[in-house]
Structure 1
Amino acid sequence: MTMKRWIVVTVITMVLAWVSASYGAMKVFVSIPPQKWLVEAVGGELVSVELLVRAGQDPHTFEPRPKQVAALSRAKVWYTLGMEFEKRLQEKVQAVAPGLTVIDMSREVEKVVMVEDGHEHGGHDSSGHDAHGEEPLDPHVWLSPVNLQIMSRTVAETLAAGDPANGEEYRRKQMVVEAQLETLNQKLLEMLKPYRGASFFVFHPSFGYFGNAYGLVQEPVELEGKSPGPRQLSALIAKAKAQQVKVIFVQPQFDPKAAQAVAAAIGGSVVPLDSLAEDVPANLQVMATKIEDALKK
């Protein structure tokens, strides 16, 4: 067999093996990149995971393409997080695909309410509503190793329910993931311990669960989804100066102009901090390092 023919045969064999593996895998959809990491970590080669909101897109303004809606309607499971776009999309998809199983990955996580001053309060039920009203709950639950542990159990349990023959494998992988997340959590607890009670300034309030996990307080530049007006901006600058803040964190999905205005006024800098990076454990470590560096200044 010539080298050229050998290469062709090898490539065809690899493609056929890939197609075979993909065909046999459970087709699962997730909404955002961090979920993809978690489902793949628990499901391994037994799942084929597709993504709705891709890197650089903003879930708050996301609208799926018709091709994505069609693909979602053919999936077996869709893991959600209680985001607004998911609620709109679910109604459309389930009207044409009643067999699609929609699972809130965060259903066992205790949610907190997003409030204007950056402080968040827990004690809310798993239905997505505040027990004392209809205040919006913070959906950024994946930015906490403990929450990820809880969600990994939900993923393993529900994958096993849909694929009982591989239930033990899902549970085995989940235990590995949970142990890795516990190691990370202990590392970050020790790393950020000296800064408990400190504030860090962010554009969009994505980091409430991270702050709660490590005794930190996020101070958002954005108010109720909008950039601050002159009065709010002035108050924010005064607060940043009083706390000797030198860094404003901005997510890549948002316009940095308001954050840049605050940074310029306090003689500080704007630093990127991505809440939607797919590799969540690595991203949590990056976040902790950047926040630690900012609090040292």
Structure 2
Amino acid sequence: MLLKKQILTVLFLFLIISAAACAGCLNEGEEDHDHDHDAEGDHDHDHDAEGDHDHDHDAEGIHDHDHDHGDPDASYVPPDPEKMKDVASGKAILAAVSVVPESEFVEKVGGDRVVVITMIPPGAGHTYDPSPVQLADLAKADIYFSLDSGEVFEDRYLETFRSSNPDMKIVSTSAGMDVKLKNGTADPHIWMSPAKAAVMVENICSGLISVDPENADYYTANKEAYLKELKELDDDMKASLAGKEGKAIIVYHPAWGHFTDEFGLRQIAIELDGKEPTAKSLASLIRTAREENVRVVFVQEQLSKTAAIAISEETGAEVVTLDPLAKDYVSNMKKTAEIMAEYMD
């Protein structure tokens, strides 16, 4: 009977998601996208504040709505079947998250008491559509840790997930933080700030305890150990980037706003609403790179490098790949700070 219910749940979810995807395609065809970087719009993704959507690349170049599709070949990797046996027997909790860095946080706190499924696979973009296999796993989940920061994927699907699995608790990992940047714009990539990552870890621990109170001491001890790692990371990154305050970084995808906010840097993004820049915007970026003496353009492996290469050819800046979605959060962020500092000397 339980298996039949899960199959019906998956079919229901798949039909809804397929309909949503089709509707999204129709909406994209109907929308009028203005890519003039002098235009402004107002987009509110904060829990309690409003912010501007600034398309001028002479400013910070941060965009509220990035609709990249990422790598079209990105695919979901189901959990180890042996671990799923522990979930079925009640020895472990099945936790769902939206992005890969969250899975790292949940595993650090949950240890061997938690099995994690990631709904946006490595390499996939914000508009990824979950597969039937993912939906089948999600139907068994005990808890979902949402970013709750304006992530497009969550805006599209979280309520559907909630209604299809009403027993699944949904916990906001951004509770208690300002998800907007200092300039008032929205940026869903909250984990890019180690200080905000620590808040996420606190919320994850509270969430796990709420569904598994018998193991509260275990989760709390794991949390405290990981928070110590995050504090050491934050100190190391501040040391690496000391004296670089006010300097600009050019990135393809605007995922670095919380990072640059925390360490006093400025993000200049190439991408606008998930699209390549126009010739006018590219010329503006090249001019800015020269004026700011930018020596490097940062890209992501899964996304386009065409515009970054064009800027590189015109300015002599190197093109370097960084990954804001890497699983090993501490070592990745430490390496990122060191690479950025190297090109700012």
Task: Give TM class, smaller chain.
Answer: 0.7 to 0.9
| 1:74 aligns to 2:140 (yes or no) | yes
Matches within 5 A, 1:148-227: 148-227=197-276
CA distance in 1, matches of 2:315, 2:307: 13
State the one-letter code of the partner of 2:104: W
The correspondence for 2:131, drawn from 65, 68, 81, is: 65
Structure 1 match to 2:163 = 95
Q: Aligned Cα RMSD in Å?
A: 1.9
Structure 2 match to 1:29 = 96
Aligned residues: 262
Note the C-alpha offset of 1:180: 1.1
CA distance in 2, matches of 1:16, 1:221: 41
Contact 1:33 1:53 in 2 (8 A): yes
Note the C-alpha offset of 1:255: 0.9
Structure 2 match to 1:39 = 106
State the one-letter code of the partner of 1:90: L
Note the C-alpha offset of 1:227: 1.6
State the one-letter code of the partner of 2:111: G
The correspondence for 1:237, drawn from 286, 292, 295, is: 286
Q: Which moved more, 1:273-282 or 1:81-90?
A: 81-90
Deviations 1:166-208 (A, max 9, x none): 0111111111111111111111111111211111110111111
Structure 2 match to 1:246 = 295
The correspondence for 1:84, drawn from 149, 152, 155, is: 152
Contact 2:98 2:146 in 1 (8 A): yes
Q: Percent identity?
A: 31
State the one-letter code of the partner of 2:203: T
Structure 2 match to 1:121 = 183
Structure 2, unpaired ranges of 5+: 1-79
Tell me the secondary structure at the aligned position of residue 29 of structure 1.
strand
Higher relative contact order (CA 8 A, sep 6+): 2
Contact 1:73 1:94 in 2 (8 A): no
Structure 1, unpaired ranges of 5+: 1-14, 114-119, 123-134
Structure 2 match to 1:138 = 187
Contact 2:83 2:115 in 1 (8 A): no
CA distance in 1, matches of 2:98, 2:271: 23
Note the C-alpha offset of 1:232: 1.0
Tell me the secondary structure at the aligned position of residue 298 of structure 2.
strand
TM-score using structure 2 length: 0.72
State the one-letter code of the partner of 1:121: N
Deviations 1:114-157 (A, max 9, x none): xxxxxx425xxxxxxxxxxxx6x211110111111111111111
CA distance in 2, matches of 1:20, 1:98: 22
Structure 2 match to 1:112 = 180
CA distance in 2, matches of 1:98, 1:221: 40
Contact 1:32 1:53 in 2 (8 A): yes
Tell me the secondary structure at the aligned position of residue 142 of structure 1.
helix
